[in-house]
Amino acid sequence: MKILLVEDDAVSLKLVSTVLEKEDYEIIIAKTGKDALGLLKTDTDIEIIVSDIMMPEMDGFKLLNYVKSSPKLMRMPVILTTAMNDKSTVIKSIEMGAAGFVTKPIDQKALLAQVKKAVESIPGSILVVDDEDLIRNVLSRIITRAGFKTTLVSNGDDALSALEKQKISVVLSDMKMPGMSGLELLEKVKEKFPKIPVLVMSGNQSEFNKNNLISAGADGYIEKPFNNTDIILKLRSLIK
Amino acid sequence: MSFDYQKAMSVVENDKDLFNELFQIFLEDKDNTFSQIESALQENKSEIVERSAHSLKGALSNLGATTAVESAYTLEKLAHSNDALSIKAAFDELKNQINNFIEKVKESEDLK
């Protein structure tokens, strides 16, 4: 788990990075909001931001605003730190969408609790299951552009093992695949991971099959050839 | 209190080595911050004074420098209202309090 730490004061920087590294978080440092933006553009492994508020050039509020208004970054939790402790700053942070707020002197336990909560709030991957390379790649591009992570697999068995191993928010599965069919996969996912929504995609489904999908617990149906907007809107409605 | 040992230890959760490391960083950094404030005073850039004072306040609060934190806060507030005459005096007071803090840390038996 990689955290972008934005802090212009060297003492606070050392303290916060030491506390987070002790808990095995990977830290990348920016000393100004502007540097932070540069890193956010180039380093796609960053999952959380811990940022000071008062900094030269671009302050923590502006950074938070940038993150929350970028479709790609808007789900990234931002925890703000500050030596201010007036109520209005805390309220402003929360209203602007900060995931947490830590005042200086830094309370290690409070900081770690907020980071842990932020980690839990990060959506998992969208698991794309399709036997066709081209479709997987197109879907991956559409979905990552909307700010979600993707995990790509070509069959039902690999899908089930991905579900065992990592945090998955939604399964997006083709119906017609060699080996395990989409319907079988749907049934297995609903049995083993009942909380994970499944969207199924297919062309030319008869009414009979659509009814089967509904009784098997599908959370949505995407007609092929698919419409990009339709996929993103359905994913968004499933990931709150 | 120039140096509140208990407070400092609660921040680092009794890790004296970490405290010493933070203190060294502070010592290395402070002259730079002081000269930033000094040139900002000459150029009448009170927003830089405000930000530097704020940054010092954060650093000092993590080190248990209670009185110096207050002085940094005073300077920050005066810089915010751009009160040129009092800013200079407040900066001198902050430097004094920081020196007191540094002395107290260096004298501290608990840290040895």
This model of the complex carries an ipTM of: 0.92
pLDDT of res. A85: 66
Looking at beta carbons, which residues of chain A come within 8 Å of B51?
54-56
Structural contact between residues A146 and A123, judged by C-beta atoms closer than 8 angstroms? no
Nearest CA to A127 among A113, A112, A140, A138?
A140
Across chain A, mean pLDDT equals: 92
pLDDT of res. A206: 67
Structure tokens at B11: 């921040």
Query: Which has the minimum average pLDDT: A32-46, A94-108, A199-213?
Result: A199-213
Across chain B, mean pLDDT equals: 94
Please state the pTM of the whole predicted model. Answer: 0.85
As a whole-number percent, the residues of chain A with pLDDT over 90 amount to 76
pLDDT of res. A195: 94
Looking at beta carbons, which residues of chain A come within 8 Å of B101?
none
Query: Per-residue confidence at A210, pLDDT binned at 50, 70, 90?
Result: confident
Distance, CA of A177 to CA of A153 (rounded, Å)? 12
Nearest by CB to residue B22, choosing from A11, A52, A84, is A11
Instruction: Give the pLDDT confidence of B42-60 residue by residue, as tens digits.
Output: 999 999 999 999 999 999 9
Instruction: Give the pLDDT confidence of A17-29 residue by residue, as tens digits.
Output: 999 999 999 999 9
pLDDT of res. A56: 81
- Whether A29 has its CB under 8 Å from any CB of chain B: the answer is no
Looking at beta carbons, which residues of chain B come within 8 Å of A9?
29, 55-56, 58-59
Work out the minimum CA distance from A20 to partner chain B, whole angstroms: 13
pLDDT of B81 higher than 70: yes
pLDDT of res. A128: 97
pLDDT of res. A218: 94
Query: Per-residue confidence at B106, pLDDT binned at 50, 70, 90?
Result: very high
pLDDT of A188 higher than 80: yes
Query: Which has the minimum average pLDDT: A27-36, A181-190, A214-223, B48-57?
Result: A214-223
pLDDT of res. B111: 84
**Local structure of residue B63 (DSSP, 8 states):** T
Q: Say if residue A133 is exposed, middle or buried (CB neighbours under 10 Å; 0-12, 13-18, 19+).
A: exposed
Distance, CA of B19 to CA of A68 (rounded, Å)? 35
Mutate to test the interface with A, among B25, B31, B33, B56 (most CBs of A within 10 A): B25
Query: Per-residue confidence at A207, pLDDT binned at 50, 70, 90?
Result: low
Indicate yes or no: CB of A104 within 8 angstroms of CB of B21.
no
